[in-house]
Chains A and B, each alone.
Chain A
Amino acid sequence: MKRLIIAILVLVVVMTAAAAVLLPKSYTGSEFYTKTVSIDKTKDVVLNFEGYSVFVKESDTNSVKVKTKVMVNEDEAKTLDCTIAGNSISVNNSNSKSKNIVLYSTWPWLPLMQIKKYQPAFFTDIDANEYDFVVEVPKGTAVNVTGTKIKVDGCTVAYVKGTSAEIEDGILTRDFNEDVGALTVRDCNVPRNIVFKQKYGEIRDNKIID
């Protein structure tokens, strides 16, 4: 009995020491990496994420926040990253393939999942889990989005280009243009002059404005 207790205690000490060496002290990162970009609010924001899915939503801040699916520390290579040039944000392809396989250790002990602090990011951030990029743009700033699967929620939209796009609770600008395979426009303010070119998708519950 004594030997068993000593063996367990030794195991606990060794394990704790090993864990202290092997495991990060704090979150070195999560599945998501966020970048904040200052922009000129008077001009359109161009989001060029060709080949990637993107979710655009409105925020009350004065800057654009881009959340990518794979995060790393600043000094490490990224599998997904974006470059900024003025009001234009696009995927940085030069860096995107440097480390293209990511192994995660995501799951903590099961009971810890009840505490928000310890929940894996994909558990709480469903949008960021579904889309390669999640972009928050300042209220009222028009967006110009290119991607494969696009979802825009509550923004002013000037242009969309992709395989499919879904615009909800937003405002379409008077010079709105689209180049989308399947377009859905729902609960939006749509200027009367706009003619949709799309073959698939649905346009419904919108408010026509002059």
Chain B
Amino acid sequence: MNSKDNRQRALKGYVSSSLMGLKQSYILVTFVLLGLFAAYCIVNVILALCGAMSNSSGGALLVGFGVAAIFAVVTVLMMSAGKGKRAAFIFPIDRKTFAIGSFIMFILNSAFILLLSAVFYLGEVIVYKILGLIFDNIMYINNVTFESYITGFWVSLFYILFVAAITFFLSILFSRFKFPAVIIVSLAIGLPFIFPFGREAYYKFLMFFIGEQSLVLICLKLLICSMLLQFISYLPLKKMEVIE
């Protein structure tokens, strides 16, 4: 068996064990999303039955994205900070396996939560459609089209991936260089705010992502930046691995 096969097996093993390790978290998030979805539907149904003229809903997609982003950040911190990282570096997991495995984990985590939100949203649509059929005076208007539903899923996934990559990068940096890294990063983030050109640079940086109107370009930008951050995070990992 050559080293490539070994690495593949190690990667597979690392991703599988990480996914199994997060089983409880997945169950928790599923229940949180289910609870939010149920509460949202119940509130809207009560409001509608009480005669409120209009109720804006569609919360499953909005809330789902928020929950997925938070979950991604928490998972990344758990995986990359202190104990989680030390537990990961057990033979045959080396830094390359850890970096690639983490990236695969980010994608799977985010996709899972977003898929759950997407399923709950369809549940929401079914509930409102049924309400519209039962009650003559209720009209259901759905502004979320099939196109926006599918494209939104991918854009959301890339955004969460990007957020996860930033968190991973900072987490690795802080755990590798400790206090000096905290000071340098804080100064690098805080100092530009004092100067007008710094504020403008921040604005331009933000607009580079949130100002983009093309779906393809925004996905490409987010994906490239995420991969770049993942690669930069890989460099400080060099002296952290246990070589056996």
Contacts and interface: CB of A to CB of B under 8 A. Distances in A.
Interface of A: 1, 4, 8, 11-12, 15-16, 18-20, 22-31, 70-72, 76-77, 79, 97-112, 114-116, 118, 120-122
Q: Which of B138, B140, B141 has the most CB of A within 10 A?
A: B141
A109 to B, nearest CB: 3
Given A109-B149, A114-B211, 7 more contacts: A1-B12, A19-B150, A101-B52, A103-B44, A103-B54, A109-B153, A110-B65
A23 B146 contact: yes
Contacts of A109: 61-62, 65, 148-149, 152-153, 155-156
23 contacts: A1-B12, A11-B115, A19-B118, A26-B147, A29-B143, A31-B143, A101-B52, A101-B135, A103-B48, A103-B55, A103-B140, A104-B58, A104-B141, A104-B143, A105-B128, A105-B141, A105-B143, A109-B61, A109-B152, A109-B156, A112-B151, A114-B210, A118-B148
- Size category of the B interface is 35 or more
A5 to B, nearest CB: 9
B51 interface: yes
Nearest to A16: B150
Contacts of B115: 8, 11-12, 15
A27 B142 CA distance: 8
Nearest to B48: A101
Contact of B149 (A19, A76, A103, A110): A19
Given A100-B53, A106-B56, A1 B15 contact: yes
Nearest to B207: A114
Contacts of B65: 109-111
A51 to B, nearest CB: 13
The 10 closest A-B pairs by CB, nearest first: A109-B152, A105-B58, A107-B58, A99-B139, A105-B142, A110-B65, A112-B152, A23-B146, A107-B62, A102-B54
Contacts of A120: 143
Interface of B: 12, 15-16, 19, 44, 48, 51-59, 61-62, 65-66, 111-112, 115, 118-119, 122, 124-126, 128-129, 131-132, 135-153, 155-156, 159, 210-213, 215, 218
Nearest to B136: A99
A105 to B, nearest CB: 4
A136 B138 CA distance: 30
Contacts of B52: 101
Contacts of A105: 57-58, 124-125, 128, 140-144
A118 B212 CA distance: 13
Contacts of A98: 137
A109 B215 CA distance: 13
B44 A15 contact: no
A1 B16 contact: yes
A15 B122 contact: yes
B154 to A, nearest CB: 9
Contacts of B146: 19-20, 23-25
A164 to B, nearest CB: 21
B122 A79 contact: no
A105 B139 CA distance: 11
Contact of A22 (B19, B51, B122, B148): B122
Nearest to B13: A1
A19 B138 CA distance: 22
A111 B144 contact: no
A25 B153 CA distance: 16
Contacts of B153: 109
A187 B197 CA distance: 39
A22 B48 contact: no
A147 B184 CA distance: 61
A79 B148 contact: no
A23 B211 contact: no
B9 to A, nearest CB: 11
Given A107-B61, A108-B148, A109-B61, A101 B138 contact: yes
Nearest to B44: A103
A79 B213 CA distance: 34
A107 B111 contact: no
Given A8-B111, A106-B57, A22 B125 contact: yes
Contacts of A100: 51, 53, 137
